[in-house]
Amino acid sequence: MNLVLNPPLLGFIVGTRAALAFGLGLLLADRMPESRRRTIGLTLLGIGAATTIAAAIAVFGRRDRSEWRSADL
């Protein structure tokens, strides 16, 4: 199975992964005051998780729809 992504969608997927990783990194680090680090880390983690779900729907939903269209022809 080959999956071809256009550049904006690929950038969106990379951004979601980066937000998750950066948020998790902030939660595990101890370089900032704990209250600020926790707030920023949880926010990035939440945004990354929510957008990862949206990205998965965009990728897998599009693939499923294209398979249905080709099966109907």
What DSSP letter does each residue of 21-61 carry, written as one string?
Answer: HHHHHHHH--SS-HHHHHHHHHHHHHHHHHHHHHHHHHHHH
Nearest in space to 24 (alpha carbons), one of 42, 12, 11, 8: 42
- For 11, other C-beta atoms within 10 Å of its C-beta total 11
pLDDT bucket at 69, cuts 50 / 70 / 90 = very low
Residue 56 lies in a domain: yes
pLDDT at 68 over 50: no
pLDDT at 21 over 50: yes
Q: What is the pLDDT of residues 27-65, one digit of tens each?
A: 898 888 999 999 999 999 999 999 988 888 888 876 555
Residue 1 lies in a domain: no
> What CA–CA distance (Å, rounded) separates 18 from 13?
9
**Tally of domains in the chain:** 1
**In which domain, by residue range, is 49 found?**
11-25+33-72
Residue 6 lies in a domain: no
Tokens representing 45 are 């983690």
